[in-house]
Amino acid sequence: MVPAVSVEAVVARLRAAGCVFAEDEAALLVEAAPAGPEREALVARRVAGEPLEQVLGWVAFAGLRVLVGPGVFVPRRRTELLVRLAAELAPPHPVVVELCCGVGAVAAALQARVHPTELHPTELHPAELHVADVDPVATAWAARNVPGAQVHTGDLYGALPAGLWGRVDVLCVNAPYVPTAEIAHLPPEARDHEPHHTLDGGPDGLQVHRRVAAGAPRWLAPGGHVLLETSEPQARGTAAALAAAGLHPRVVHDADLGATVVTARAV
């Protein structure tokens, strides 16, 4: 067991660097590297402001440890609402696509998701699982996190094979939705260490949402659903974009997660 003084020394350094949850972070860093130069390297990276998840190499998400690294967007716990709703809306053996997938956290969680029933849990078995992102660094991580998925690199629907037209049962999207002017006010872990394109949603934060909404009807199967994470103030705009595309939106809030998702069904 690592001596308590070692943990306390790490806690002191993290506190001095402004880490709010210094004790919890120190425990994780000590677990990752019990002693020596390797631990010092990890602590130094965190003290310098690098996100804890990128330092550790993983993030806790929907009961999984999802692999992450420097230069990628770190999945947030609020996105677990997107996973939960997608699993509820999915038909048996669905065709599932995650656009703007980043490291593939949503697809990984859906792949492992269990639907409880009265008698026993039944796993969600996608007939096909696709993940896509514009950033090849992100899709390389997604390939590791979702080994059963088909991985595509490109801009939104341009990354997908034409064979998916009209076949997608569940389209999950956590596109950037931070208004450009607000990026400067984000925590430094995000604005300094995550790619700008994973945060910037344009002047009102809805630029990418409109593109997703406009293209969704072509790709969704009859009765299929698109799910877009958004913020509570922007939910009306996200829903309006989906309605303008001929879809039927519904806004879902989760106060515990601080999460908002707009779902829309193809008719």
Given a contact cutoff of 8 angstroms between Cβ atoms, the answer to whether 111 and 126 are in contact is: yes
pLDDT beyond 70 at 121: no
What pLDDT score was predicted for residue 7? 84
Task: Tell me how long the chain is.
Answer: 267
How do strand 122-123 and strand 248-254 relate by DSSP bridges? unpaired
What pLDDT score was predicted for residue 34? 80
Residue 264 has what DSSP assignment?
A: E
Mean predicted confidence (pLDDT) in 228-248: 97
Please return the burial class of 147, using the count of CB atoms within 10 Å of its CB with bins 0-12, 13-18 and 19+: exposed
What pLDDT score was predicted for residue 6? 74
Q: Which of 113-127, 209-223, 228-242 comes out lowest in average pLDDT? A: 113-127
What pLDDT score was predicted for residue 2? 46
What pLDDT score was predicted for residue 197? 96
Structure tokens at 179: 């208004």
pLDDT tens for residues 59-111? Answer: 999 999 999 999 999 999 999 999 999 999 999 889 999 999 999 999 999 99
pTM of the model: 0.90
What pLDDT score was predicted for residue 118? 42
Give the Cα separation of 160 and 167 in Å (integer): 12
Mean pLDDT for all residues in the chain: 91
Give the Cα separation of 105 and 23 in Å (integer): 26
What pLDDT score was predicted for residue 246? 96
Residue 127, classed as helix, strand or coil, is coil
pLDDT tens for residues 162-209? Answer: 999 999 999 999 999 999 999 999 998 899 999 999 999 999 999 999
What pLDDT score was predicted for residue 25? 86
Mean predicted confidence (pLDDT) in 135-146: 97
Q: What is the dihedral of CA 211, 214, 219, 221, to 10 degrees?
A: 130
Q: What is the dihedral of CA 74, 79, 84, 86, to 10 degrees?
A: -90
pLDDT beyond 50 at 120: no
Q: What is the CA radius of gyration of the chain?
A: 20
Given a contact cutoff of 8 angstroms between Cβ atoms, the answer to whether 180 and 200 are in contact is: yes
Give the Cα separation of 112 and 137 in Å (integer): 23
